[in-house]
Chain A
Amino acid sequence: MNPFASPKGLLFLIILLTMSVNLLGDTQKDSVGDISPLRTMIALQKSIHTLSADFSQSRSLKTLRDPIISHGKLWIQPQQFFRWELGTPPKTIVIGTPTETTVIQPFKKTASKKIRSSPTGGTDTCEAFGMMSLPGNGDFDDFQREVRILKTENSAGIFHVEFIPKNIEQVRGLTAIRLDFNSQTGQWIRLEFLTRDGSSIRNDFTDIKINQTLDPHLFEYNLTGFRISDEKK
């Protein structure tokens, strides 16, 4: 029961983690079992230059009887650009560049821009590239510093890891993040966020394509006629 617990950052985090191919980590080998697939998967991230995928998002909110299900697509160029579309046709589009993040609602003809304070992101995980630049550059030690592993399980070729960022201020309201990936290929299958009020937001990934050329226009959007609000970071 935590309806007003510092909502700031929560959904950004959800979205951005959805797009992140990097966010994993481990600190407690003894209590979480064999984490070698996790190490391997994190190391693999270095070789990812582009990524696109379809996803199905299920928002199981504590106050709703049934989950809300939407479909979407995402494109990522790690450390550089991303585009995330929710709904078919997309009702919400988020485009990230090294300098700003733009949230667009095409049907409402509105957009809001969040200017990033530094090109490298910094530590504020409310920023798109802040999350993308979290210890996820293939460095397992960095992950260990930022993320606490709660649980791991390896069954039927799927590695399941449950973790929480150590800085609870950045993820206030979250109790855990669950990630399922193929223990052989390191390919993501499912990412789920569990909140303190008992809600969860789950993303199931399909049609994942790695290192394919992305159209640079993906990360642009013509906002002519849109009401734009600027939010300086």
Chain B
Amino acid sequence: MKRNKALWILLCLGATAYIALGLSRISFNVDILRLLPSQLHQVEGLSLFLRNFALPNELIITINASDAETASASADRVSEALSSNPSLVSRVVDTPPWEKNPATLAECLSFLLINQSSEKTDGLVASLGPAQAEETLKTTLQDLTDSISPRDMALLSWDPYRLSSSLIENSALSSSQRSAFSSPDGRFRVVYVESPKTFSNYKETAEWLKKIRGVATAAVVGKDVQLGFTGEPAFVAEISTGMQWDMVTSAVTTMALITFLFWICYLEISPLRWLLLLLQLIFLVSLATAGLFLNQLTAIGAGFASVMIGLSVDYGYFIYQQSLRHSGSVSELQWKCLRNILWTSSTTAAAFFSLNLSSLPGLSQLGNMVGIGVCVGVIVMLGVFTPLCIKFRSSGSPLPSSKIDQIFSSSRFIKFGELMAITMVIVCLGTLILKGFPHADFSPSTLRPKNSQSHHALEQLSHNLGVQKSELNLVVTGRDETEVLIRLQKTQKHLEEAKRGGKIRSFISPLVLWPDSANQQRNLSSLGSLEKDLPRLKSSLFNAGFNEGAFSFTSDVLGQIAAWQTITPPIWPSNPTSQWILQRLARHTNGSFMALGIVEPVPGFERSLVEEFSSDGVYLVSWEILSKELEQLLPKEIILVSLGLISGILVILAFGLRSIKALGLFIATTLLVLLCLTGAMSLLGMTWGLLNLAAVLLLLGTGTDYSILFLLALRRNGGDISAAYNELGLVIFLCCTSAAVGFGSLAWASNLGLAALGKTCSLGLLIDGVISLFLLPRLWRSLFTEKKA
């Protein structure tokens, strides 16, 4: 006895340690692209784009006010308040960094000068030579007199030697006039806030965001000022905390409804208490196992965990119901239950694990997560709950008389059920014929949180800063600077051709900002030599009527270029202003070399452009194109996986049922369930999406359990339908309602995809339950009575 107790204590301690270790290793990845097939060029490109250009530590605060002055004042106040918290933020940027300190821009302009073609540099060097310098200044003075160009006015007065003129001619620089800080009417402002440290988990991110939100909200004045928070930290905090809430509420709701159902069916407290405890144990052990053995879990993947409760409780119901009629030992009951559960759990686990065959990581995660849960559920229920059920019996408590159990034995109820089932089938199939299949929406937006504040802020940001929805992102990668440069040069030609061909309206290529070692080498030599001419250039400037201030830019740029002469190209500019500009267009750290451009296609040419440009290391991507690709890929993918899954289930069932007719009956009911589900979805105006298409697979894995259990019960009872009802009617009712509740609780999930999955599965399971309980016996009767006749 003491030995047993010690063993239990050790087991409990071991389980606690296992759960603690597993849960501590869980980290949520909020990137929805992790759910999509990585071999898709669009997914690969967008992942690269997000990983490299969505800055993980940069929060974007949007300020929306009724007038420009309030917006500007609010942006100033928010910046000031946040800047005074160095422990909270490392940098706050609310205007282009070079506006506050223009001298810092000299480094970036110097970089652009040494990076340009040597022909342009030769022209520039000539214009600064003793023969042409005075003429250059005369032209500048004339332009300052005649020009009405704001750019010329501002630039030439500070750059009289026209060092920047050759750069301005570049379309990439001159066309990029979109402000990253304000809408044209000034009523919308943007403040970029950087965290001083890298976040180790989503809780840290959420805590940081909460503090920033507090400081920013306190800083703004006026009721009509609306603050928005977006960027990577805002998405991480919102999605992860939302998912945490979804999991908790879904688990609690499921538990509460299981308690309610069990209580009204059996009116027993002790088994219910243990059942709930064991369900929590299954949930935690499964989650911990996922944390320990699966790669980083996506936030949506973790949301599937609550589904496990709804599935595992099925085995508990079955064991408890069997225990009520069992008079033998624990091991006999375990063996009896195992023979039934084995078929249902193996088909369910096989169904879920086979989702790994899919190229969709989202489906694989769903499969692994629930597959683990099913296995853990079977082990815990058979190993722990079965002995407990016998213990409840041996403790002398009388057999509970369940009124609901009696209802399932009543012929009137069965007839009523049959009538309801036939009506449901007619309505669903009728709708399917009349309204057709539900519409499909595979856009990634269906995987986002509903009422997402950070997404709303991002949409406002794009709208107010003039980002076109049709824009495509050009991502060019390579192993080193040279490879990226070669690809960029090829892409540039391609872009120019496409523009001439009328396929592209405009584009911004990052080529001009990518270091060209050969150009840099040559230009450093020719431009660097000008440093010694600074006194002459200064003197000419004074003679032309300029003052000391007009020389600072020339002096800074030529000084910077001379300083770089000792460095071996490729040279990257490194001061904070240059970094701020480059971090949005180029990456060259940690062995990652990547450049980002923007292409605005002429409507109708998007797909052909994507196909033309897609090559090794070159990606032309957008969310719109991705959703179109998914629309083509996913239905095929789901059909293929479903066929594989059904084949597996049929092989398992061929051994279990050992009857071709019974197998045929199983196939017929499964098809009917799927058709009715489709009809019901049409009726309710639901759409097929990325995740709820996976509901088909889930139904094949879980919903088929009901028909399998009933077919096995019929076989066991020699085709006696009443006996089968007596044995399993209540169990199937409980299994179906609890699983439907488990999935249904996801209908309120903050994530749209998860909510759609929950609704579809819940609906499908209820249909499955009704058909298995009321139509399957009828079909069995007609099929096997005929045989007898």
Contacts and interface: CB of A to CB of B under 8 A. Distances in A.
A8 B148 CA distance: 11
Interface residues of A, number: 45
Give the one of A4, A15, A86 with max B CB within 10 A.
Answer: A4
B69 A10 contact: no
A172 to B, nearest CB: 8
Interface string A1-27: 111111111111111000000000000
Interface string A54-77: 000001011111101010000000
Contact of A65 (B144, B150, B545): B545
Contacts of A86: 146, 148
A169 B148 contact: no
A123 B99 contact: no
Contacts of B182: 169
Given A63-B549, A65-B546, A167 B186 contact: yes
A63 B555 CA distance: 14
Contacts of A6: 96, 99, 179
A165 B68 CA distance: 9
A163 B296 CA distance: 58
A63 B157 contact: yes
Contacts of B144: 59, 61, 64, 68
A4 B168 CA distance: 12
Contact of B146 (A9, A10, A92): A92
Contacts of B553: 3
A40 interface: no
Contacts of B150: 7-14
Contacts of B158: 3-4, 63, 197
Contacts of A103: 148-149
Contact of A166 (B145, B153, B154, B186): B186
Contact of A91 (B146, B149, B181): B146
Interface string B528-562: 00000000000000000111011001000000000
B667 interface: no
Contact of B154 (A65, A87, A123, A173): A173
Given A12-B150, A92-B146, A2 B157 contact: no
Given A8-B177, A63-B546, A63-B547, A166 B68 contact: yes
B146 A87 contact: yes
Contacts of A3: 102, 154-155, 157-159, 553
A145 interface: yes
A123 B185 CA distance: 6
B5 interface: no
Contacts of A15: 148
B147 A11 contact: yes
Contacts of A2: 99, 102
Contacts of A105: 146
Determine the main DSSP class of B at the interface with A.
helix
Contacts of A65: 545-547
Interface in A33-89: 59, 61-66, 68, 70, 86-87
A37 B179 CA distance: 38
Nearest to A164: B69
Interface string B566-599: 0000000000000000000000000000000000
A68 B145 contact: yes
A10 B69 CA distance: 18
Interface in B121-180: 141, 144-155, 157-160, 177, 179
Contacts of A7: 150-151, 153-155
Given A68-B145, A86-B148, A170-B184, A11 B153 contact: yes
Contacts of B184: 123-124, 169-170
Interface residues of B, number: 42
B555 to A, nearest CB: 13
Contacts of B67: 145, 166
Determine the main DSSP class of A at the interface with B.
loop
B157 A61 contact: yes
A13 B151 CA distance: 12
Contacts of A92: 146-148
Contacts of B148: 11-12, 15, 86, 92, 94, 103
B450 to A, nearest CB: 33
B334 interface: no
Interface in A125-180: 145, 148, 165-170, 172-173
Nearest to A125: B184
Contact of A63 (B96, B147, B160): B160
Contacts of B186: 166-170
A199 interface: yes
B105 interface: yes
B72 interface: yes
B474 to A, nearest CB: 21
Interface string B178-196: 0101111111000000000
A26 B251 CA distance: 61
Contacts of A168: 68, 72, 186
A59 B141 CA distance: 11
A216 to B, nearest CB: 23
B146 A4 contact: no
A148 B184 CA distance: 18
B157 A62 contact: yes
A4 B98 contact: yes
A64 B542 CA distance: 9
Contacts of B141: 68
B179 A169 contact: yes
Give the one of A1, A63, A103, A172 with max B CB within 10 A.
Answer: A63
Nearest to B541: A63
Contacts of B96: 5-6
A167 to B, nearest CB: 3
A48 to B, nearest CB: 24
B578 to A, nearest CB: 13
B166 to A, nearest CB: 16
30 contacts: A2-B102, A3-B553, A4-B99, A4-B158, A5-B96, A5-B98, A5-B102, A6-B179, A7-B150, A11-B147, A11-B154, A59-B144, A61-B144, A63-B160, A63-B549, A63-B550, A64-B144, A65-B547, A68-B145, A70-B146, A86-B148, A92-B146, A92-B148, A103-B148, A145-B67, A166-B72, A167-B72, A169-B182, A169-B186, A170-B186
Given A5-B98, A62-B157, 12 more contacts: A4-B99, A7-B154, A8-B177, A11-B150, A68-B141, A68-B144, A91-B146, A123-B184, A167-B72, A168-B72, A169-B182, A170-B184
Interface of B: 67-69, 72, 96, 98-99, 102-103, 105, 141, 144-155, 157-160, 177, 179, 181-187, 545-547, 549-550, 553
Top-7 shortest CB links A-B:
A3-B158, A167-B186, A167-B68, A7-B154, A11-B150, A63-B550, A166-B69
Interface of A: 1-15, 59, 61-66, 68, 70, 86-87, 91-92, 94, 103, 105, 123-124, 145, 148, 165-170, 172-173, 197, 199
